[in-house]
């Protein structure tokens, strides 16, 4: 009997940006032994942060566009299984080394069943850890303990993005802005182009924390202005997505790109610009009157960001499974 289907079916907005991958992503890619404390190639250290649990702090200055993490999954789980979720995850943990098992059980978890005891019901703990920390890895879902140490930031607060590269069988995390030594590295767990209260409500329900990132901590009047920009970006994005159904003309689509770009400049929200520039070029290919803007303005602006090598890096969000398994959903930017 089919018991679970992992939540990779986000809404229309996410579906439009969802990246297709190779069909071999369900093949097991064994994780490699590592230690967060001893791996010199990782430019951060994991420490306890008051009110947030553990977090990743830059151990040196990190440049925009720099590779922060490249990590193979501890284990992968296919979209569907035919056994108990708790037993399935437990069996996966039987195949890893003791060091890898320890790195898994050191991860945090939320929404643990009230009728269970975390001291004795270890299978349920393992499932809760998986639900809290699993990320999309092609058509499968995987656990990446190093990447799981990166906490959440909204809008302009997050400084890194990740993607899963199926051919290499590894997840990579890149900096999308300069990060100073001593600063916490942040990714984002959702589409944060929502008002503050909606963002906080989702994060509280899904991950059990009240977001106090630099954007959520803005004074009310400044936060309201930020919210308005983010909502407008979402509105323009929704309209832009309708170009593929031919309900929006080419010139109109390019105007939506212009608006998103301008609002992103004002907000400091850059993470989706690789994809946005690609969309503009795609629209321009079918509308000669749009070619000048797509090839000129966007190309120059994107190069100024020095992120041309990051056009395959996605914005990531976490999504809730319909059947009790949570995972990060990777969404192309």
pLDDT in tens, the chain (333 residues): 333 333 332 322 222 222 333 333 333 434 443 433 344 578 999 999 988 889 999 999 999 999 999 999 999 999 898 889 999 999 999 999 999 999 999 999 998 999 999 999 999 999 999 999 999 999 999 999 999 999 999 999 999 999 999 999 999 999 999 999 999 999 999 888 999 999 999 999 988 899 999 999 999 999 999 999 999 999 999 999 898 888 888 889 989 999 999 999 999 998 888 888 888 888 887 765 554 554 455 555 544 544 444 444 443 434 333 223 333 333 333
pTM: 0.75
Rg from Cα positions in the chain: 20
* Burial environment of residue 196 by CB neighbours within 10 A (0 to 12, 13 to 18, 19 or more): buried
Q: How many helices (H) and strands (E) does the chain have?
A: 10, 14
d(C-alpha 107, C-alpha 98), whole Å? 15
Q: Which residues are registered as beta bridge partners of 327?
A: 319
* Tokens linked to 139: 């058509």
d(C-alpha 73, C-alpha 164), whole Å? 10
pLDDT digits (tens, 9 = 90+) for 280-312: 888 887 765 554 554 455 555 544 544 444 444
Tell me which residue of 190, 223, 198, 74 sits closest to 134, measured CA to CA.
Answer: 74
* Burial environment of residue 103 by CB neighbours within 10 A (0 to 12, 13 to 18, 19 or more): buried
Angle between helix axes 98-105 and 122-133 (nearest 10 degrees) is 70
Q: What angle do CA 182, 184, 190 make, to 5 degrees?
A: 165
d(C-alpha 188, C-alpha 154), whole Å? 6
């Amino acid at each position: 009997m089919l018991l679970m289907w992992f939540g990779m079916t986000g809404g229309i907005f996410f579906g439009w940006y969802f990246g297709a991958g190779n069909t071999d992503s369900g093949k097991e890619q064994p994780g490699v032994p590592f230690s967060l404390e001893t791996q010199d190639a990782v430019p951060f250290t994991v420490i306890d942060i008051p009110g947030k649990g553990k977090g990743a702090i830059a151990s040196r200055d990190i440049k925009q566009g720099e590779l922060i993490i490249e990590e193979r999954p501890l284990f992968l789980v296919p979209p569907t299984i035919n056994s108990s979720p708790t037993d399935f995850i437990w069996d996966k943990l039987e195949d890893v080394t003791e060091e890898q098992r320890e790195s898994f059980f050191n991860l945090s978890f939320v929404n643990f069943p009230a009728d269970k005891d975390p001291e004795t019901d270890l299978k349920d703990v393992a499932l809760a850890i998986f639900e809290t920390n699993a990320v999309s890895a092609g058509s499968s879902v995987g656990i990446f303990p190093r990447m799981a140490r990166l906490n959440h930031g909204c809008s302009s607060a997050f400084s890194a993005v990740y993607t899963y590269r199926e051919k290499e069988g590894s997840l990579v995390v890149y900096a999308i802005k300069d990060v100073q030594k001593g600063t916490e590295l942040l990714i984002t767990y959702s589409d944060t182009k929502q008002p503050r209260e909606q963002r906080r409500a989702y994060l509280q329900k899904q991950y059990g924390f009240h977001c106090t990132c630099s954007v959520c901590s803005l004074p009310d009047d400044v936060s309201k202005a930020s919210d308005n920009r983010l909502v407008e970006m979402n509105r323009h994005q929704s309209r832009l997505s309708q170009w593929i159904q031919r309900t929006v003309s080419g010139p109109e689509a390019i105007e939506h790109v212009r608006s998103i770009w301008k609002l992103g400049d004002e907000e400091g929200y850059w993470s989706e610009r690789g994809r946005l520039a690609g969309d503009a070029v795609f629209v321009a290919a079918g509308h000669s009157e749009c070619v000048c803007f797509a090839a000129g303005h966007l190309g120059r602006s994107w190069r100024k960001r020095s992120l041309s090598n990051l056009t395959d890096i996605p914005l990531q969000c976490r999504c809730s499974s319909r059947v009790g398994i949570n995972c990060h959903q990777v969404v192309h930017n």
